[in-house]
Amino acid sequence: MLKLFHREKNKRERMPQGNREILVITYVFIAAFLSLIFYLLYFTQFVGHDLINNPYNKRQDLYAKRVTRGDILSRDGEILATTLTDENGMEVRTYPYGNLFAHAVGFSTHGRTGVESFENFNLLTSDVYIGERIANDFAGEKSPGNKVVTTFDLYMQQVADVSLGDRRGAVIATDVKTGEILVLLSKPDFDPNTIRLRWDEINADSDRSALLNRVSMGLYPPGSTFKVVTALAYMKEHADTDDYSFDCNGSFTYQGNRINCFHGQHHGTVDFHTSFAKSCNSSFANIATTLNKRSFTTVCNDLLFNNRLPCPYSYKQSVVTMNAGSNIADVMQTAIGQGKTQITPFHMNLITQAIANNGVMMRPYAVSGIYTAYDDPVEETGQEEFTRLLQVKYAKKMQEMMEEVVTEGTGSKVRDTYGYKAAGKTGSAEYSADKGRSHAWFTGFAGVDEPEIAVTVLVEDGGSGGEVAVPIAKNVFDAYFGSRQ
């Protein structure tokens, strides 16, 4: 072996100087070539899609010249967006259901939103047989773009739309086990068919803010729906909650800080479960005084407040400003979902979905698959666990407490029609100096023994969550279970 080493060494030493330089250059070129290959693979897999999807990337114009933008469909095959050719031979993006999917599907004029935005690359890509694409290129004709099949349930979306009516707010429904987004509704809305002509008018109307997707971009005080978080914090500090008792006379004062129950209601003597079911502000303010602020903050962070969310849409982070140094007034306000706490309906639905799924949050998604214009599969989306938000024992306990909200508390109007059992939490969140005005909330799931669907409803300036938001959620639950009868 030693002789062989010296023999090779001697060969290299005898090699002319020019040959050695050529060998070095060859190795450099090989390394550069391999690096380029690895980069191209990385770019294609991780960067290319997002880069080409960027609305400022002019390469999209080249794609649009060669490919007719593909269709967007509902989960049951109804066309939600398609490209037609008008009498002048111009392509026109058309939305057969008008306002109904304004924020869910979005639009592709004056920028892009919704599915039109995050699936722009696939819609402008044609995966039909390569021979057809070559023939179309030679003939100067466009190839048909890929179809995007969404997870949206047309009937449920229609029911949510009618139920919310002309009120401002948001409705989102997700499949507990898979993370599929079944309903995504935001109002005020707009007709994407006329967005090109009415853009300046709609964009300038700051009062209606019709372009705002309130599901993922609307930040609101959560009101009593946040008691889910406070209850979890209390359970983590108290292994046995059965010994809790509080006498509610309509308000609670601690160190000069007063918290009132909704409309000053007297709940009498309540235990931990009844405090939650009846949504007793006074009791939860009392609970707040016993909590370790650092632990309470940790629970909030564990539930993804002040953190990034797995959301296919543009979104805003929910906010809890409480920390270990907060004063007792802030802690009491936070415990009942008031003060500076803000959350999106999307985030509230994620928390609800995780509770229903025994603590595991599924990654939410709005697209189930990509297909060619001839329905050949290109790419299909599989369900994926995102993270565990809470331990199974706490999730089970919250499921029981949220069921009691429906059977014995403020969520009684959601009692089932089609044999399912429901659970949830109502909220009436004050949002201005006028304490008589509040946003109406409900977040919940059905059916309790084997949860399938999570629904969150927010009605701006709606008043009582139990009176206004709950019936909307019930209609969505009914649409889901009724269609399976």
Asked whether 470 and 414 are in contact (CB, 8 A), the reply is yes
Point out the domain boundary residue: 11, 31, 53: 53
Residues linked to residue 169 through DSSP beta bridges, in sequence order: 187, 459
The CA distance from 295 to 109, in Å, is: 47
Q: What is the dihedral of CA 108, 109, 114, 120, to 10 degrees?
A: 30
Would you say residue 306 lies in a domain?
A: yes
Tally of domains in the chain? 2
257-260 and 251-254 beta bridge pairing: antiparallel
Alpha helices in 289-434 (DSSP H): 293-302, 328-335, 345-356, 392-408
pLDDT digits (tens, 9 = 90+) for 5-55: 455 445 555 556 556 677 767 777 777 777 766 655 554 444 455 555 555
Question: What is the pTM assigned to this prediction?
Answer: 0.88
Token pair of 407 as six digits: 């059977």
Does residue 314 sit within a domain?
yes
For tokens 């593909």, the residue is 70
Same domain, 210 and 325: yes
Say which residues have a Cβ less than 8 Å from residue 274's Cβ, sequence separation at least 6: 267, 280, 408, 409
Question: Which amino acid belongs to residue 205?
Answer: D
φ, ψ at 439 (rounded to 5°): -80, 145
Q: Which ranges of 185-302 does DSSP label H, i.e. alpha helix?
A: 195-204, 214-217, 227-237, 272-277, 281-288, 293-302
Q: What domain range is 7 assigned to?
A: 2-53
Q: Is residue 144 situated within a structural domain?
A: no
pLDDT band at 58 (very low <50, low <70, confident <90, very high): low
Q: What is the CATH number of the domain that holds 471?
A: 3.40.710.10
The answer to whether 340 touches 376, Cβ cutoff 8 Å, is no
163 and 46 part of one domain: no
pLDDT tens-digit map of 150-200? 999 999 999 999 999 999 999 999 999 999 999 999 999 999 999 999 999
With bands split at pLDDT 50, 70 and 90, how would you rate the model's confidence at 377? very high
Per-residue pLDDT tens over the stretch 396-454 = 999 999 999 999 999 999 987 788 999 999 999 999 888 889 999 999 999 867 999 99
Mark 400-434 as b/e (b = at least 16 C-beta within 10 Å).
Answer: ebbbbbbeebbbebbeeeeebbbbbbbbbbbeeee
* Residue 286 belongs to some domain of the structure: yes
